[in-house]
Amino acid sequence: MSQSNYAEIGQVTTRPQELAAHRTKRRVRERLIEGLLFFSALSSIGITAGIVGILLYESLVFFEHVSVVDFLTDTQWTVLFADAHYGIMPLVAGTVVTSAVALVVALPVGTIIAIYLSEYANSKLREMIKPVLEMLSAVPTVVFGYFALLFVTPLLQRFLPNLPGFNMLSAGIVIGIMIIPYVSSLSEDAMKAVPVQIREGSYAMGATRLQTALRVLIPSAFSGIASAYVLGFSRAVGETMIVAIAAGQQPNLTLNPMEGAATITAYIVQVSLGDLPHGSIAYQSIFAAGLTLLLMTLAFNIGGYLLRKKFREIY
Amino acid sequence: MKMTGPRDLATRVARRKLYDGVFGILGLLATFIGLITLTALILDLATAGGSRLSWQFFTSFPSRFPSQAGILSAWVGTALVMLVTALTAVPIGVAAGVYLEEYARKNWLTVLIEINIANLAGVPSIVYGLMALGLFVYQLRLGHSILTAGLTLALLILPIVIVATRESIRAVPGSMREAAYALGATKWQTVKDHVLPYATGGILTGVIIALSRAIGETAPLITIGALTFIAFLPGSPIKSEFPFVSYEWLMSPFTVMPIQMFNWVSRPQEEFHLNAAAAGLMLMVMTLAMNGLAIYLRYRFRKRIKW
């Protein structure tokens, strides 16, 4: 408290009436500040409401022209052509393939790192490795995109000569590397949270560190590890710049990672960079694509939540 | 279980120990993936883009000629957008964190806010961009401006700031608050004069990490209609005559560093890729410096404060 405040209190306490007035003023100020803080906290709900509201509102314009059935079953996405088809499937396929490649890289590596850091590494090594992993997740995605297109793709082409310049494989691998820190740090936190007695019980039975990790820690920490995987998936599905740069811009209904294909996010970027007028169907299609993306992550998050609830261990 | 003799048991124990050791090596290798990737990334950018880094690169506008192009409008844009983002996200985020940690009652609304913040972390950044396009650009008519961009990124990092604020406030021991209350301080006086000063280090660390994420964000800004070719600077915020400040720059079109880099990397000409590498190198330097600073600050504050 500042000097003047003490002086103020000193003056006030001599007169009861002024003291009462001072108290009221103080109470009003406290209330006002609490209200202000409350509205700041409420703003986060506002963001969610804004996201859902805007996406639904703008998508409606799109779905007035395109039926939901066509949107989900048509196998072509040729919004920018004269013969326009509005089937989201090719874009969903691109998103699923790049995310799947990313998860194949990130889940095993992330889990191994988590086990290593929580069970094997001493604190000195851990203090060194964690900041490096943190920095990896801080690299701007556009830089990762450059890396995928101009470093990883040429590297892969040495082993796979038929790999096209734009392909989902290299984009997926780089997304996978990018999300390793998310998977490893959350999984490690979950493993660390397993009570030490459970671990000691396992060691007392003569189990090695690896056996303890695989048979005791992972089952006990499963709900936390599942959250880590879900967050990793959300990041992979929503990743934009890496795929926009390295996976190509052509919608392509394929499950082959060696081909190039546009993802939902890459399509949104492509349209945003063009000069289509607001209100045209092609322009509104980016909101429908965004809504699809949001629903995909939402479905996965709910699935993860149910899985966590089923396997939750309470100590 | 099958009965085993002592020799059999010994080989099995040896095998378990071997697996354990092999996994130890595997784990060590896995942790080096991060280091290897970062090194490869920086070396790749440095060898390609290093030669383009010069005074001219920082003071030139983009150009059709790769060797004359620079990042002047991009870094000025990044600085101004970050200013708006920080001025919006920090007060609101810290206030929200203080409310949730110090004031909120345990009721359904608080639970809803908490679940909501956790879920916002999983929302793809491009979805924030679409929301900002619909809300700021079309409903509120703020245009494809620096103001729109700054607000968009502020929304994006708000959950990070809130979570960081809550964590560092939670680390302040309850005895601090009780001592303040015992001296007759009100709740706000306790928070303002005692809790927040001790939590500042943690909050600052979180804010720096959040801003370093915002600097690299590209997708939401492309979605709200950032331009890729800007050959002018926004109006200066400081004027020589009264009232000395101008807010004209807020409404100016803009580009930022990552968008400039994206523009160069998506061109077919090899020479532009060199510019992209140079811009990428600058982005890496900025984000890594900010993260390094955050890690250092966290270390410092952790060491200095002993309860």
Convert the pLDDT of each residue in B2-44 to its tens digit: 556 777 888 888 888 999 999 999 999 998 888 899 899 999 8
Q: Is the Cβ pair A55, B131 closer than 8 Å?
A: yes
Distance CA B77, CA B149 (A): 10
Q: Which of A146, A272, A294 sits opposite B223 (nearest CB)?
A: A272
Q: Is residue B1 part of a domain?
A: no
At residue A266, φ and ψ (nearest 5 deg) are -65, -35
Q: Is residue A79 part of a domain?
A: no
Query: In terms of domains, do B172 and B258 share one?
Result: yes
Q: Is the Cβ pair B185, A26 closer than 8 Å?
A: no
Query: In terms of domains, do A157 and A43 share one?
Result: no
Q: Is residue B258 part of a domain?
A: yes
Chain B residue nearest residue A181, CA to CA: B34
Q: Is residue A73 part of a domain?
A: no
Domain count, chain A: 2
Query: In terms of domains, do B251 and B144 share one?
Result: yes
Query: In terms of domains, do A9 and A93 share one?
Result: no
Q: Is the Cβ pair B119, A139 closer than 8 Å?
A: no
Which CATH number does the domain housing residue A259 bear?
1.10.3720.10
Q: Is the Cβ pair B265, A149 closer than 8 Å?
A: yes
Residue B198 one-letter amino acid: Y
Q: Is residue A243 part of a domain?
A: yes
pLDDT for position B214: 92
Which of B13, B16, B29, B31 best tests the A interface by mutation, with the highest count of A CBs <10 A? B31
In total, chain B counts a number of residues equal to 307
Query: In terms of domains, do B132 and B187 share one?
Result: yes
Which of A56, A61, A139 best tests the B interface by mutation, with the highest count of B CBs <10 A? A139
Query: In terms of domains, do A59 and A95 share one?
Result: no
Query: In terms of domains, do A14 and A143 share one?
Result: no
Q: Is residue A84 part of a domain?
A: no
Distance CA B158, CA B97 (A): 10
Query: In terms of domains, do B44 and B84 share one?
Result: no
Distance CA A246, CA B223 (A): 19
Which of B107, B227, B262 best tests the A interface by mutation, with the highest count of A CBs <10 A? B262
Q: At what angle do helices A222-238 and B125-132 cross, to 10 degrees?
A: 50
Query: Mean pLDDT throughout B161-184?
Result: 91
Q: Is residue A211 part of a domain?
A: yes
Q: Is the Cβ pair B127, A273 closer than 8 Å?
A: no
Chain A residue nearest residue B109, CA to CA: A42
Domain count, chain B: 2
Distance to chain A for B25, nearest Cα, Å: 9
Distance CA B125, CA B287 (A): 18
pLDDT for position A2: 44
Give the residue among A204, A211, A202, A203 at the shortest CA–CA distance from B16.
A211
Range A25-62 burial, b when 16+ CB lie within 10 A, else e: eeeeeeeebbeebbebbebbeebbebbeebbeebbebb
pLDDT for position B267: 85
Chain B CB contacts of A117 below 8 Å: 31
Walk along chain A (315 residues) in steps of 10 and give the mean pLDDT of each run. Answer: 47 70 87 91 91 92 85 80 82 93 95 92 86 87 93 90 90 94 92 90 91 90 89 91 88 84 91 80 88 91 82 67
- pLDDT, chain B, mean: 86
Query: In terms of domains, do A145 and A53 share one?
Result: no
Query: In terms of domains, do B299 and B170 share one?
Result: yes
Q: Is residue B128 part of a domain?
A: yes
pLDDT for position B306: 60
Q: Is residue B270 part of a domain?
A: yes
Q: At what angle do helices A222-238 and A168-192 cross, to 10 degrees?
A: 150
Count of alpha carbons within 13 Å of A165, Cβ hemisphere only?
7
Lowest mean per-residue pLDDT among A181-195, B199-213, B232-246: B232-246
Q: Which domain holds residue A117?
A: 89-311
Query: In terms of domains, do A124 and A156 share one?
Result: yes
At residue A63, φ and ψ (nearest 5 deg) are -75, -5
Long-range contacts from B140-144, C-beta under 8 angstroms, 24+ separation: B142/B251, B143/B251, B143/B253, B144/B224, B144/B225, B144/B226, B144/B227, B144/B253
Q: Is residue A74 part of a domain?
A: no
Chain A residue nearest residue B267, CA to CA: A245
Which CATH number does the domain housing residue B235 bear?
1.10.3720.10
Convert the pLDDT of each residue in B80-127 to its tens digit: 999 999 999 999 999 999 999 999 888 898 889 988 888 888 899 999
Query: In terms of domains, do A127 and A275 share one?
Result: yes
Query: In terms of domains, do B29 and B138 share one?
Result: no
Chain A window 79-108: which residues touch B at a Cβ cutoff of 8 Å? none
Distance CA B279, CA A143 (A): 9
pLDDT for position B244: 65
Q: Is the Cβ pair B131, A135 closer than 8 Å?
A: no
Which of B88, B126, B205 best tests the A interface by mutation, with the highest count of A CBs <10 A? B126
pLDDT for position A12: 46
Query: In terms of domains, do B40 and B85 share one?
Result: no
Q: Of A49, A65, A81, which one is at a domain's C-terminal end?
A: A65
Q: Could you tell me the two tokens for B143?
A: 């245009």
pLDDT for position B5: 72
Give the residue among B59, B14, B83, B9 at the shortest CA–CA distance from B238.
B83
Q: How many helices (H) and strands (E) does chain B have?
A: 12, 0
Return left, alpha or beta for B241; rule: phi > 0 is left, psi -120 to 50 is alpha, else beta: beta
pLDDT for position A98: 94
Query: Mean pLDDT throughout B184-193?
Result: 90
CB B209 within 8 A of CB B88: no
Q: Is the Cβ pair A293, B134 closer than 8 Å?
A: no
CB A177 within 8 A of CB A187: no
Q: Which domain holds residue B216?
A: 54-304
Residue A29, chain B, CB below 8 Å: the answer is yes
Q: Which of A58, A141, A290 sits opposite B216 (nearest CB)?
A: A141
Any bridge partners for residue B139, and if so which?
Answer: none
Distance to chain B for A69, nearest Cα, Å: 23
Query: In terms of domains, do A173 and A278 share one?
Result: yes
Q: Is residue B72 part of a domain?
A: yes
Query: In terms of domains, do A120 and A60 share one?
Result: no
Chain A residue nearest residue B112, CA to CA: A45
pTM (predicted TM-score):
0.88
Q: Is residue A71 part of a domain?
A: no
Q: Is the Cβ pair A265, B34 closer than 8 Å?
A: no
Query: In terms of domains, do B113 and B175 share one?
Result: yes
Chain B CB contacts of A121 below 8 Å: 27, 31
CB B220 within 8 A of CB B214: no
CB B42 within 8 A of CB B284: yes
Q: Is residue A215 part of a domain?
A: yes
Q: Is the Cβ pair A135, B288 closer than 8 Å?
A: yes
Q: Is the Cβ pair B99, A40 closer than 8 Å?
A: yes
pLDDT for position A14: 63
Chain A window 240-299: which residues touch B at a Cβ cutoff of 8 Å? 240-241, 244-245, 265, 268-269, 272-273, 278, 286-287, 290, 293-294, 297
Query: In terms of domains, do A56 and A101 share one?
Result: no
Query: In terms of domains, do B28 and B120 share one?
Result: no
